Amino acid sequence: GAVVSQHPSWVICKSGTSVKIECRSLDFQATTMFWYRQFPKQSLMLMATSNEGSKATYEQGVEKDKFLINHASLTLSTLTVTSAHPEDSSFYICSARDGDRSPSYNEQFFGPGTRLTVL
């Protein structure tokens, strides 16, 4: 149980284009999903918290107009990187929390990540 998938697993795009990354919880409903980015040999940095049916909460320094997050259902959240630039190249990872899990320690289950390369 508690499987999270991401699509695509890797993407290469040209500078100025937009890229959408999907995050799905496969066997549970996730009222809350999180988006992280990770640079080589570094830890994860939280970008935003995505709540189903409401606006995402962005961390300080993360541009909400550049990183659009939509959490339209209890099993799907999307991150769209708009007008991508080479400095947006990174490993993007989502996680989801199973609100029905018992006992609940607010554990997050992570997707396999999406490697974005902007040329």
Partner 1 sequence: TQLLEQSPQFLSIQEGENLTVYCNSSSVFSSLQWYRQEPGEGPVLLVTVVTGGEVKKLKRLTFQFGDARKDSSLHITAAQPGDTGLYLCAGIMIKAAGNKLTFGGGTRVLVKP
Measured CA to CA, the distance from residue 10 to residue 86 in angstroms comes to 15
What distance lies between CA 35 and its chain's CA centroid?
A: 3
Q: How many residues sit in the footprint of partner 1 (CB under 8 A)?
A: 26
Residue 88, SS3 per DSSP: helix
The answer to whether 71 and 53 are in contact (CB under 8 A) is: yes
Which range in 13-21, 35-43, 62-70, 79-87 contacts partner 1 by CB under 8 A?
Answer: 35-43
Q: Which of 42, 73, 83, 117 binds partner 1 (CB under 8 A)?
A: 42
Binding site for partner 1 (CB under 8 A): 4, 6, 32, 34, 41-46, 49, 57, 91, 93, 95, 97, 105-113, 115
